Every structure is written in C-alpha cells, then in structure tokens.
C-alpha cells in the first residue's frame, strides 16, 4: 500500500511540475505579446534561458523545391524557427491573424491557433521585427510533414509524412514494463553513431514505438565532450544546424511517448569521450562538490532546452554511496537497482531526507549483441513474476535495419526490419502480455 501511495504522491508532484512548465511558457508568451504590442520586437530578453540568433544562409525546401523566403530563419534556444506567414504561403497556404488567433489554411484543411501559446504547440510563437515565427517541430506536426536535415548545406528538406499504421494496444489489460534507449547524444558525427541520417532513423525508432502503443525513456547525455578531437558541444550555447537536428529529434521523441533521463552530465572524465568514459564512481577525479555541480548543470541544461530534469542514471551504473546521496538530493527518480533493496528487480520507493525517491532497476539487463538477443528475450518469460520487465538497449544497433525512402508522391517513410532488436523486443513483450509503459502507469 505504501508503494501505491508513494506512486500517487509522485504522480501528483509531476502533474504540478508539468503545470508549472506550462505556466512558465504561458508567462513567456504573454510577455512576448505585451512587448510586441509596445515596441514590435520579440521578447527573447524577457527570459534569461531563451536566446535567439538569426541564421545566415539557411534554406527550406518542400518536395525538393526551394521556398523563396525573404525573411531569415532563426535559432531560438537552439531550435529552428520559420517565418510563419511566408512559410505557409510558399507552401501554398495562407495565414490570417486576428487579435487573438492565427487562422491557417493549407492543403484543404484549416488550423486555428489560439494565441501565441496554443496547447498544440511545443514552443510559443515568437516575433522578430513584427514577423511571427513558428518552430520547425510545430510546423511539421501541424502540417504532417517529415523533416530531413542537410546540415552541411544549412538546408531543411520537407516532405509529406506517410503515416505508419497504428497497432492497437489494450493498455488496461496488459502488464507494464519499461524500455530505455541508452546513450543518446549528439557529437557532430564524431562517433559515427549520430548524424543527419541516423537522427532521422532515431526518429523512426520513436515512431515505431509510438505507433505500437509503447512508451520509452531516453538516456540523454546533455554535454558531449571528446577532448582528443577538441569537441565540447553545449547545445544551450552552440547554435548550428547539426544541433538543431538533434534538438528536433529529442522534441520528436518526447512528443511521441518519450521521457528524458539525464545520463550523467558529460558521461566522461579527463580525456575520455562522452559515452565511453564513466564520470562518477570510485575512480572519479571529481570532488563531492564538483559532482553536485555536475548534476546541477545537467538539470540546468535540460531546463534551458525545455526538457524534464527529474530522472537520473549514473553512467555505466558507476557510483559510490556518497555520490548516490548527492543524486538523491537532486533527483526524484534514479534509474537503477536500490542498493539496499529487500527484494531485487522491483521498483522501490525510498524515503530520504523528508522526500521519497523512486529507484527503477533493469532486471532484463541490456542487449549486448544480436547474437545474445535470444537469451535476453527468453528472460521476459523466465524472470520471477514480481520482477519488473525493464530493459535498455543502444538504438544505433538497429540503424542498419531501418530504411528511409521518399515515394514518387513526395511521402517520406521508413521500413523497420523484422529481425531488428526493437521489433523482436516489442513483439516478444506483446506475446508475453506486456507493453512498455511509463512510471505513472506502472501500478495500473
């Protein structure tokens, strides 16, 4: 009963958290309206976390035809924003603005946005020199477009998004498990795991899970570092098409049943590469104060980019008891087995310093290779019934199994091979009566 009560308390807290985020965004939007009405400029400076930069030489194409945009594109907190009226007009539609609404007509349909922070928008509408700007992600979602980045050319290619068939899932009558996509970061292609093409494939991973009624967690490394190559990629400071592609991908994943997990701050130390190094643990070079600061910086970066910041995972599960106490002070959920658990393999609430911390283990472990996948799948049925069907895998394992194409009708689509890790994992969970869910629904 205590676990259920704790779950309800946590859900209530998260609902408050989400409402505060919505309220914060609404306040920003209202300030934008007031400032725009008075001086005709965007209110970027009204929020210290929101910064904007005009993009030099950015291009947008629709169905391989370049749009003739006279107004520039903008980076707003790293995301690409489009001049809404001109963009829609060049696409063959129209935008009529009244006092409190934007009425958009395009492709035979009409969309009415209620103000600058309509509930359907992921980001507010901003103004630059009296011109309304809409985020690329929101434009793609509103108009059902697929986005293909060509970062070296500073180019965005837009196509019709071919909808994937939705597989119905009876979420009320299935047991719940958890899936974590491990080591998600953007390195400008330095590791070979994440590029414009593979970011699109990562969106396909999210789309496959979404259309199959599955939720998932995203183990994101906020600050990518590769000292030997001189790379330090802080997406709150480095505005580029490469980073905008990655932010678009994170927005897409979160918008399609994904949830952010802060996977360390840099997931590295000294001269090691992010994702390879450890950062914490017994051999860390960082003091307790520095460890606390790194966790705080990870949270600050997530907040600055508009993501949740309450779930944490130690890189490689490397930590000391003192470091764990620091994490318990900073986060509501720690994605690992509680070290003093009475029974392993179960989600466990632990009361620390007047608050409750949720520990989430991964009894199914992870998928180390395709050869070892059958053994991992077998554990779904052989684990004790009271243990959580929780697992993680590195999505780049599936990138060769995802095939991106553009049809003659201008539709962007993908196919996902049936012998891939994810497809086999989801199909096995389904046959065994499980679905990948989220924390809020574990007790249902």
Q: Contact at 8 Å (CB) between 144 and 161?
A: yes
Four-CA torsion 21, 27, 28, 30, nearest 10 degrees = 140
H or E segment to which residue 97 belongs: strand 94-97
Other Cβ atoms within 10 Å of 303 Cβ, number = 15
Model confidence over 260-303: pLDDT tens digits? 999 999 999 999 999 999 999 999 999 999 999 999 999 999 99
Helices (H) and strands (E) in the chain, counts: 9, 25
Q: Which domains does the chain have, with CATH numbers?
A: 2-143 (no CATH), 167-441 (3.20.20.370)
Model confidence over 224-248: pLDDT tens digits? 999 999 999 999 999 999 999 999 9
Q: 3-state class of 345 per DSSP?
A: coil
H or E segment to which residue 160 belongs: strand 155-161
Model confidence over 138-153: pLDDT tens digits? 999 999 999 999 999 9
Going by pLDDT thresholds of 50, 70 and 90, the confidence category of residue 442 is: confident
Q: Contact at 8 Å (CB) between 265 and 275?
A: no
Going by pLDDT thresholds of 50, 70 and 90, the confidence category of residue 424 is: very high
Model confidence over 144-182: pLDDT tens digits? 999 999 999 999 999 999 988 888 888 778 999 999 999
Q: What does the pLDDT average to over 415-440?
A: 96
Model confidence over 2-43: pLDDT tens digits? 343 344 344 444 444 444 444 444 444 443 433 333 333 344
Q: 3-state class of 42 per DSSP?
A: coil
Model confidence over 333-346: pLDDT tens digits? 999 999 999 899 99
DSSP 372-414: THHHHHHHHHHS-TTS-EEEEE-GGGGGGGEEEEE-TTSEEEE
Phi, psi angles (nearest 5°) of residue 116? -80, -15
Residue 77 burial by Cβ neighbours in a 10 Å radius (0-12, 13-18, 19+) = buried
Q: What does the pLDDT average to over 104-117?
A: 94
Strands (E), 201-266: 216-220, 224-226, 231-233, 258-262
Output the pLDDT for position 187: 83
Give the Cα separation of 314 and 380 in Å (integer): 24
pTM across the whole model:
0.89
Distances (CA, A) of 58 to 91, 152, 278: 17, 11, 37
Residue 189 burial by Cβ neighbours in a 10 Å radius (0-12, 13-18, 19+) = middle
Output the pLDDT for position 18: 45
Q: 3-state class of 239 per DSSP?
A: coil
With 50 as the cut, is the pLDDT of residue 60 above it?
yes
Poorest-pLDDT segment among 41-50, 52-61, 222-231: 41-50
DSSP 250-308: HHHHHTTTEEEEE--SSS--TTPPTTTS--SSTT-S--HHHHHHHHHHHHHHHHHTT--
Q: What does the pLDDT average to over 394-410?
A: 97
Q: Contact at 8 Å (CB) between 413 and 203?
A: no
């Amino acid at each position: 009963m205590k676990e259920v009560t704790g779950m309800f308390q946590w859900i209530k807290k998260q609902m408050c958290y989400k409402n505060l985020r919505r309220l914060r965004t609404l306040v920003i939007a209202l300030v934008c309206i007031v400032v725009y009405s008075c001086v005709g400029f965007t209110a970027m400076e009204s929020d210290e976390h929101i910064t904007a930069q005009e993009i030099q030489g950015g291009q947008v194409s629709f169905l391989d035809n370049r749009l003739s945009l006279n107004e520039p594109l903008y980076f707003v907190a790293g995301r690409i924003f489009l001049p809404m009226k001109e963009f829609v007009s060049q696409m063959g539609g129209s935008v009529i603005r009244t006092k409190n609404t934007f009425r958009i007509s395009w492709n035979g349909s009409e969309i009415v946005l209620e103000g600058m922070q309509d509930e359907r928008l992921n980001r507010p509408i901003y103004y630059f020199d009296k011109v309304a700007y809409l985020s690329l992600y929101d434009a793609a979602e509103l108009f059902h477009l697929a986005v293909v980045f060509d970062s070296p050319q500073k180019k965005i290619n837009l196509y019709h998004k071919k909808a994937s068939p939705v597989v119905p899932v009876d979420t009320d009558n299935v047991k719940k498990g958890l899936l974590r996509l491990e080591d998600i970061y953007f390195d400008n292609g330095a590791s070979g795991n994440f590029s414009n093409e593979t970011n699109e494939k990562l969106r396909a991973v999210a789309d496959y899970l979404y259309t199959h009624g599955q939720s998932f967690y995203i183990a994101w490394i906020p600050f990518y570092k590769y000292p030997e190559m001189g790379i330090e990629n802080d997406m709150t400071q480095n505005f580029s098409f490469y980073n905008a592609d990655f932010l678009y991908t994170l927005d897409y994943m979160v918008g399609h049943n994904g949830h952010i997990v802060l996977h360390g701050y840099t997931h590295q130390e000294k001269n090691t590469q992010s994702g390879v190094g450890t950062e914490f643990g017994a051999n860390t070079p960082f003091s307790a104060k520095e460890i606390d600061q790194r966790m705080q910086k990870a949270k600050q970066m997530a907040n600055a980019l508009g993501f949740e910041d309450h779930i944490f995972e130690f890189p490689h599960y490397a930590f000391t008891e003192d470091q764990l106490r620091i994490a318990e002070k900073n986060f509501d959920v720690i994605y690992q087995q509680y070290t003093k658990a009475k029974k392993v393999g179960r989600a466990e609430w632990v009361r620390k310093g007047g608050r409750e911390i949720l520990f989430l283990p991964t009894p199914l472990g992870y998928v180390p290779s395709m050869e070892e996948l059958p053994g991992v799948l077998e554990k779904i049925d052989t684990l004790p019934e009271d243990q959580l069907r929780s697992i993680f895998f590195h999505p780049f394992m599936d990138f060769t199994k995802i095939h991106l194409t553009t049809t003659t009708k201008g539709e962007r689509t993908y196919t996902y091979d049936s012998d891939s890790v994810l497809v086999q994992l989801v199909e096995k969970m389904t046959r065994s009566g499980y679905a990948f869910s989220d924390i809020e629904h574990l007790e249902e």
